[in-house]
């Protein structure tokens, strides 16, 4: 079994460990990071529908969104990228397709 995993949680819960969950079993650190990228982008795109202003979108994500963390993945830089560059393809937000065992 692979040791690569993604830790997910909800910012609204104050990053309470009881409100976090793990998605284990990725074949590589890059595979886990790609899942985290798509997961975060999906969160931001969902919020963008109601909050198109970049500053308000950033605040909404860090207040109400769900996070994903993986080894070697810079989530803060990725959040900035996602806010500046909206997704243009469905695959960019399809994190579920990358879940191990699917």
Model's pTM, two decimal places? 0.93
The candidate with the shortest Cα–Cα distance to 62, out of 16, 11, 9, 17, is: 11
Which residues lie closer than 8 Å to 81 by C-beta, 6 or more apart? Answer: none
Taken as a whole, the chain contains a residue count of 102
pLDDT in tens, the chain (102 residues): 568 999 999 998 876 778 899 999 999 999 999 999 999 999 999 999 999 999 999 999 999 999 999 999 999 999 999 999 999 999 999 999 999 987
């Amino acid at each position: 079994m692979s040791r690569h995993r993604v830790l997910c949680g909800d910012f609204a819960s104050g990053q309470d460990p009881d409100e976090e969950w793990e998605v284990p079993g990725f074949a590589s650190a890059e595979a886990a990071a790609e899942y985290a990228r798509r997961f975060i982008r999906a969160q931001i795109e969902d919020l963008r529908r109601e909050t198109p202003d970049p500053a308000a979108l950033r605040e909404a994500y860090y207040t109400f969104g769900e996070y994903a963390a993986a080894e070697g993945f810079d989530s803060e830089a990725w959040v900035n990228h996602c806010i500046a560059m909206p997704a243009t393809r469905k695959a960019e937000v399809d994190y579920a397709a990358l879940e191990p065992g699917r």
